[in-house]
């Protein structure tokens, strides 16, 4: 087995035994990136020198018998919206194309403390707004299974680099399915933790009440270890859950006895691809063969999930992105050109005797704000800012935003009720396998519906995971979606491990 093919757990075992060094593992991953990322486009930046220096440092610590972290010497990729001190952090946006944070996010610090080797920053939909990684202002990412298809989004780069075996571990973020949907499209494991389980400090926010950082890997075992390394209470994050962090890596191999699984009736109807339906049902049969009891359940307010999400998320995005004005930081338009254009407009209005037009003209400051934001944000980001500004405006706040918050509460209550009778909820991660690049870019609603089964976990703040569970006739991965009560990531990981011990879908990787 080549080093780039090994799981993080396997690599740790080899590193601890002295069979390989972190420098060797890092070089193998960097070589893989050089060979294939030109075709895939998973990375926005590869930090070769820093990665090799960190790997050498970890090797020296091991050689000297010093304590090392949980991920000592294992390469990791990071989605490019986690602030990293001294490194450009772009959010795949022209607005932040040259932004260098003066501090690191808590998750980056935890990775450094765990002695992980950060290889680079992965591509994403701009400001995490999208479901295909086609909205990146800095380049598109392609699906390693078929480069004519999208890898999903917004964590498309994070999933693609895993599927292409460029790295064994990858950090993603999930606001409405942005870890789980690309994990499904690329045939890897992606877990959205409970809201507050992982600190959001240093995350460039999209929708603050929905965003959650989470682990992506090729196995449940690796995902458990990774989650353990990045979880924990953080006083710097006011939404961080002040609860003990379980040792997920120690319990992941323990099967769940008497498992009760609920299949959501609303998730197996119109809009679900037939091959996805079949693969998920076959996966549920695997659990039945392992002794699980499967029952049909209903989440009646789930049908309002997309509508609710696309009121709340853009509203929060409108507020969060207001700070990017070209004055404090971020992209600023060329002021000389802007002032010259403003003067031309003034001259034209004066010549026309348009007094009303002159009174309505922008001041130079307002024009600078407008022009900088117009140039710095892409079409999807602008669409969501406008939608969010509208729903928060006077006369519409009560009609839309407050009503959406009430429905959000009903969605959470549906989950609370169902979890009294079942341990896990299962269904498809996405209604379709990976789709063709460009096929939905002109139909935002069709793109939004790809998150049909995932957004409600974010609205309810509960953990959810996507695990490879089958392949379509055209050779594309299908994801099994599992949801659990708040703070029950251990249950999800153990269930995922049970499935992976009984199947081999997670071992199938694309041929590059």
The per-residue pLDDT for range 380-421, each reduced to its tens digit, is 999 999 999 999 999 899 999 999 999 999 999 999 999 999
Question: Catalytic: which of 45, 70, 79, 121?
Answer: 79
pLDDT band at 269 (very low <50, low <70, confident <90, very high): confident
Residue 1: predicted pLDDT: 84
Domain ranges of the chain: 3-256+421-506, 305-401
CA distance 183 to 339: 47
Q: For residue 75, which of 4, 169, 144, 195 has the smallest C-alpha distance?
A: 169
Residue 347: predicted pLDDT: 93
Q: Where are the beta strands (DSSP E) in 177-264?
A: 189-192, 212-217, 260-264
Query: How crowded is residue 361: how many other Cβ atoms within 10 Å of its Cβ?
Result: 14
Q: Give me the residues paired with residue 120 across strands.
A: 46, 77
The two structure tokens encoding residue 308: 């609710």
Question: Catalytic: which of 93, 132, 178, 315?
Answer: 178
Residue 13 annotated as catalytic = no
Tell me the CB-side half-sphere exposure of residue 211, using CA atoms within 13 A: 27
Residue 420 annotated as catalytic = no
CA 379 vs CA 58, 130, 155, 250: distances in Å:
43, 11, 18, 45
Q: Where are the beta strands (DSSP E) in 104-240?
A: 117-122, 169-174, 189-192, 212-217
Burial (CB < 10 A; 0-12, 13-18, 19+), residue 232, is middle
Task: Encode 330-357: b = buried (16+ Cβ within 10 Å), e = exposed.
Answer: bbbbeeeebeeebeeeeeebeeeeeeee
3-state secondary structure (DSSP) of residue 441: coil
Residue 209 annotated as catalytic = no
Please provide the average confidence, as pLDDT, over all residues in the chain: 96
pLDDT band at 512 (very low <50, low <70, confident <90, very high): confident
State CA 340 to chain mean position distance. 42
CA distance 235 to 241: 9
Domain 3-256+421-506, classified CATH 3.40.50.150, yes or no: no
CA distance 58 to 52: 10
Backbone φ and ψ of 362, nearest 5°: -65, 150
DSSP 82: B
Q: For residue 137, which of 150, 149, 124, 146 has the smallest C-alpha distance?
A: 124
Please determine, for residue 329, whether its predicted confidence score (pLDDT) is greater than 90: no
Question: Catalytic: which of 105, 132, 154, 249?
Answer: 154
What is the average per-residue pLDDT within 453-479? 98
pLDDT band at 270 (very low <50, low <70, confident <90, very high): confident
Residue 275: predicted pLDDT: 98
CA distance 412 to 192: 16
pLDDT band at 511 (very low <50, low <70, confident <90, very high): confident
């Amino acid at each position: 087995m080549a080093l780039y093919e090994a799981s993080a757990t396997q690599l740790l075992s080899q590193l601890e035994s002295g069979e390989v060094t972190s420098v060797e593992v890092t070089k193998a991953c960097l070589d893989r990136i050089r060979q294939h990322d030109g075709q895939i486009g998973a990375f926005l930046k590869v930090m070769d020198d820093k990665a090799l220096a960190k790997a050498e440092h970890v090797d020296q610590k091991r050689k000297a018998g010093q304590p090392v972290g949980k991920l000592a010497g294992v390469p990791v990729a990071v989605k490019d919206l986690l602030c990293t001190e001294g490194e450009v952090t772009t959010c795949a946006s022209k607005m932040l194309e040259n932004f260098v944070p003066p501090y690191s996010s808590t998750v980056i610090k935890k990775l450094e403390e765990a002695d992980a080797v950060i290889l680079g920053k992965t591509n994403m939909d701009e400001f995490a707004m999208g479901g295909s990684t086609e909205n990146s202002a800095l380049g598109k990412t392609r699906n390693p299974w078929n480069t004519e298809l999208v890898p999903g989004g917004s964590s498309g780069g994070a999933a693609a680099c895993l599927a292409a075996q460029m790295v064994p571990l990858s950090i993603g973020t999930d606001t409405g399915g942005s870890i789980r949907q690309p994990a499904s499209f690329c045939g890897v494991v992606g877990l959205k933790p409970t809201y507050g389980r992982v600190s959001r400090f240093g995350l460039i926010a999209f929708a603050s009440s929905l965003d959650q950082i989470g682990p992506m890997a090729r196995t449940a075992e690796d995902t458990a270890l990774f989650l353990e390394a990045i979880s924990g209470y953080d006083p710097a994050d006011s939404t961080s859950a002040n609860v003990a962090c379980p040792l997920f890596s120690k319990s992941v191999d323990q099967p769940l006895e008497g498992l009760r699984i609920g299949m959501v009736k609303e998730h197996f109807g119109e809009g679900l691809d037939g091959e996805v339906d079949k693969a998920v049902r076959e996966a549920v049969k695997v659990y039945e063969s392992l002794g699980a009891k499967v029952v049909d359940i209903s989440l009646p307010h789930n049908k309002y999930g997309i509508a609710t999400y696309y009121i709340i998320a853009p509203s929060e995005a409108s507020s969060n992105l207001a700070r990017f004005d070209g004055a404090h930081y971020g992209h600023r338009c060329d002021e000389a050109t802007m002032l010259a254009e403003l003067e031309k407009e003034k001259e034209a209005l004066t010549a026309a005797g348009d007094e009303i037009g002159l009174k309505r003209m922008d001041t130079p400051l307002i024009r600078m704000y407008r022009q900088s934001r117009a140039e710095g944000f892409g079409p999807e980001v602008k669409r969501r800012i406008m939608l969010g500004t509208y729903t928060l405006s006077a006369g519409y706040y009560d009609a839309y935003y407050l009503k959406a918050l009430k429905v959000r509460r009903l969605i959470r209550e549906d989950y609370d009720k169902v979890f009294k009778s079942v341990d896990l909820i299962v269904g498809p991660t996405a209604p379709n396998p990976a789709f063709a690049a460009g096929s939905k870019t002109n139909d935002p609603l069709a793109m939004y519906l790809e998150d049909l089964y995932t957004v409600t976990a974010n609205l309810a703040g509960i953990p959810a995971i996507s695990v490879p569970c089958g392949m379509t006739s055209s050779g594309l991965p299908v994801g099994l979606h599992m949801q659990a009560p708040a703070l029950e990531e251990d249950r999800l990981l153990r269930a995922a491990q049970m499935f992976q011990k009984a199947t081999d879908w997670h071992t199938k990787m694309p041929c590059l």
